[in-house]
Structure 1
Amino acid sequence: MRTAILGAGSMGLVLGAYISKAKEQVDLIDINREHVEQLKKNGASIIGTIKMNVPVNAMTNDEVTGKYDLVFLMTKQMHNKSIIEDFLPHLNEDSVICTMQNGMPEPSVAQVIGDDRVVGCTIAWGATYTGPGVSELTSETDSLTFDIGTVTGKPNPKMNEIKRLLELMGPTTIVDNFAGARWAKLIINASFSGMSAVMGCTFGEAAANKQSRLCILRIIKECIDVTKALGIKIEPIQGQDVVKLIDYKDKITEMKSLFIIPIVIKKHNLLKASMLQDLEHGRKTEIDAMNGAVSYYGKKAGVPTPYNDKVVEIVHSIENGERTFSYDNLELFKGLK
């Protein structure tokens, strides 16, 4: 089976290094020519919570030849439709794309190739691109997990092969309720990634600050309320039942939930949101696919989402050069209920 990672940035590079280290065939495809040239010359360098240098087979999009049976999609999801359409010449009629992106990427990919050829994957770890050929793994090595499944709930013939390859890096679970797994990941994206981008800090720093911790809690609560209204059961995150831990009902349980937040994210304290990395480099973010998705489904379900709405507003204002990421942005949440 011929396999590719489309988007060998911060996280794609880490996964590619693990698979290549196991002597499995995988092509790392990326539009960043300088990055690809460095990978060709010196291999993939992974630093942070693990250190390794691995020879990889890297190429730019215009250097791709032939067709792939399996593609791990790890690009930003804003342009999924055009990216997949451009890559169609390199897919067989039964090729499968495994979406490993933030937000809710499966519908946009299925729009091009069909639901039956899409396998979704949520990733419970993070990494930071530090320069051409180098990525920093920022999560603890015992938290490198994946959940995979289909939006239709029907099994995919390549599911076991996807599981086998991902388990070269970490434990991988096939889940029947993939919508619940997607929302579990979206909760982390919206809360910790959202506040990381707003404040310009790591997940651990966002959890340590009392003001931002309250914002994180309120964002999570809004996500839970939306899923309840939609009839979606949120899957556990690395064995932790987020709803049970965070779904407060009064002041006492709210205080307990606030206390729990730094403990829940402890293994990912060093993680810096990919949205913050984009803002640092003057790029547009995936905010509309993260907190924006919560706001969208909240409106659809008739559930107010003021904290998610505010994160979207602030990040867009940073993108537009109207403000910068800063702890000062916490003042903008005052007065929200």
Structure 2
Amino acid sequence: MDERILIWGAGAIGGTVGAFLRRAGLDVTFVDVVPEHVAAMRDPVRGLRITGPVAEFTVTAPAFTPDEVRGTWDKVFLCVKAHHTADAARALAPHLSEGGYALSLQNGLCERVIAEVVGAPRVIGAFVNFGADYMGPGEIALGNRAAVVLGEMDGRITPRLTALHGTMRIFEPDAIVTEDINAYLWGKLGYGSLLFAQALGMAGIADCLARPELDTRFRRLGEEAMTVAAAEGVTPRGFNGFDPDAFRPGAPMEATRRSLAAMSEFNRGSAKTHSGVWRDLAVRKRRTEVDAQMAVVPQVGAGHGIPCPGFDRLVALIHEVEEGRRPLHDDNLLELIP
């Protein structure tokens, strides 16, 4: 395979990763649905600017809207919001070479959705936890470095995975490969439930995780995710303070509190203070990924006869905010246990 890379979705994740690879001299092309963002990235004067404590630089690159892009690529990095995955996969499919792969740099269980469109052998999974925000056309703020994990969906360590690992280390030197990417994807679902909960209020991630009155509510969300994961035959892996063992049924509450404290400390060191979900609700005033990410847990749980009332309540509260029926307020989190 050659070194040409197509980034499909140049927002917080795709724009950040693509900019680092472009700066390193790789042949990166961007696709995004926002015409103003596309115009900025290919403008030789304006370009795509990365800001924040991790790095400050600007790159220019070929950039197109989905209807403009032409050609095929061996490597397509899919970086759209989870609820846009199916549409994006169908749009990118004609641009994915027969022997190429699509890498899912997304939150949620998006790999299975992509596989339904392009075929499972043409999908590589990934878990990312760095904090970045799309600030506007041509600008992305990178708040911190965090875990990046890559894995084939069948667990093999393949030549293409090894080569991809080398490429992704340009962005994150501590990126790793795994034989069990699902362990990280399910771990992120557990952790992600806490970020969706934070989005219901105004306090930032670190302060939210440090609220002792929310410990039992966070424990319930994490426990539901870990229980469903176990039913799926998955043993979630930890990262950046999140300890799956601390949220499994029967775990001491003190272990849960230690993990919450570790996550709070990790996030306190980031310039990204609030979750992307919170920005969707409070700043961008748009629909979140709650159905494509959080609602999946009770859906999978139902197949095993496992109720998830905490996740159901979280999804319902997020929808109330999306629909303007509930204002953002820190007290919303007290309603997580129905």
Whether these two folds match at TM > 0.5 is: yes
Contact 1:5 1:74 in 2 (8 A): yes
Residues 47 and 150 (structure 1), Cα distance of their counterparts in 2 relative to 1, 3 Å cut = same
Q: Deviations over 1:179-226 (max 9, x none)?
A: 2121011112122x2112222443212112223343222211211122
Q: Does 1:37 align with 2:47?
A: no
Distance in 1 of aligned mates of 2:60 and 2:219: 41
Q: Distance in 2 between matches of 1:161 and 1:63?
A: 29
2:136 pairs, out of 127, 131, 143, with 131
| Equivalent-residue separation in structure 2 for 1:161 and 1:146 (angstroms) | 15
Paired amino acid for 2:99: D
For structure 1, which segment, 7-16 or 205-214, has the greater mean C-alpha deviation from structure 2 after superposition? 205-214
Distance 2:139 2:214 in 1: 31
What corresponds to 1:312 in structure 2?
Answer: 315
Separation in 2, partners of 1:313, 1:74: 26
1:257 corresponds to 2:256: yes
Aligned to 2:77: 72
Structure 2: stretches of 5+ with no match in the other structure: none
2:330 is aligned with 1:289: no
Pairing 1:99–2:100 present: no
1:77 deviation in Å?
2.1
Tell me if the contact between 1:16 and 1:56 (Cα under 8 Å) persists in the aligned partners.
no
Equivalence map 1:1-337=2 (5 Å) = 1=2, 2-41=4-43, 42-57=46-61, 58-139=63-144, 141=145, 143=146, 145-170=147-172, 171-191=174-194, 193-238=195-240, 242-247=243-248, 249=250, 253-269=252-268, 270-280=272-282, 281-334=284-337, 336=338
Structure 1 residues 122 and 129, CA gap change in structure 2 (3 angstroms): same
SS of equivalent residue, structure 2 residue 295:
helix
Identity %: 26
Letter in 2 for 1:308: F
Does structure 1 conserve the Cα–Cα contact (< 8 Å) formed by 2:198 and 2:205? Answer: yes
The total of aligned residue pairs comes to 328
Q: Deviations over 1:247-272 (max 9, x none)?
A: 3626xx20342243122342223342
Whether the 8 Å CA contact 1:71–1:96 is kept in 2: the answer is yes
CA deviations on 1:294-314 (whole Å, 9 max, x unpaired) are 211222222232221111000
CA distance in 2, matches of 1:75, 1:333: 28
RMSD: 2.0
